[in-house]
Amino acid sequence: DGGGGGSGNGEADPHELVLQAERHGWLQKRRRGKKRWQRRYFALTGDTLYYFLTPHAPEPLGQFHLLTTSLKTATNATQLELWPAGSDPYTLMSDAAATTEAWRTAIADTHERTLYAEFNLGDDDGGGG
């Protein structure tokens, strides 16, 4: 069940990823071209959206690095699309449009903050100018 930018993270305690998450909860995930939805526990921590088999899983099954992932609106109000660089897009789905909108907002805000921070940090790279 890998995908979306690699599996595992090897750095942080998975339970800390969930505890420190800006947003976490159950969503359905489907990769483009696949018919079956997979129920996964998602945690938005820092600039990464992790997904787990359960909230207490020993490690993430995979992750989406938001700096290199585009967020797109799906036609269904309970779905959103993630387009990781160099990978097939994924559709995430919740049980309610309001829940999906809350995830969309959290991911978009994180993406915007990450891009802003990256731009500002990259501005002073020591290169001659």
Low-confidence residues in the chain, pLDDT < 70: 1-12, 14-15, 114-129
Cα 16 to its chain centre, rounded Å, is 16
pTM of the predicted model as reported, rounded to 2 decimal places = 0.78
User: In this predicted structure, what is the pLDDT of residue 6?
Assistant: 42
User: In this predicted structure, what is the pLDDT of residue 53?
Assistant: 95
User: In this predicted structure, what is the pLDDT of residue 10?
Assistant: 47
Under 8 Å between Cβ of 59 and 11: no
User: In this predicted structure, what is the pLDDT of residue 44?
Assistant: 93
Under 8 Å between Cβ of 54 and 67: no
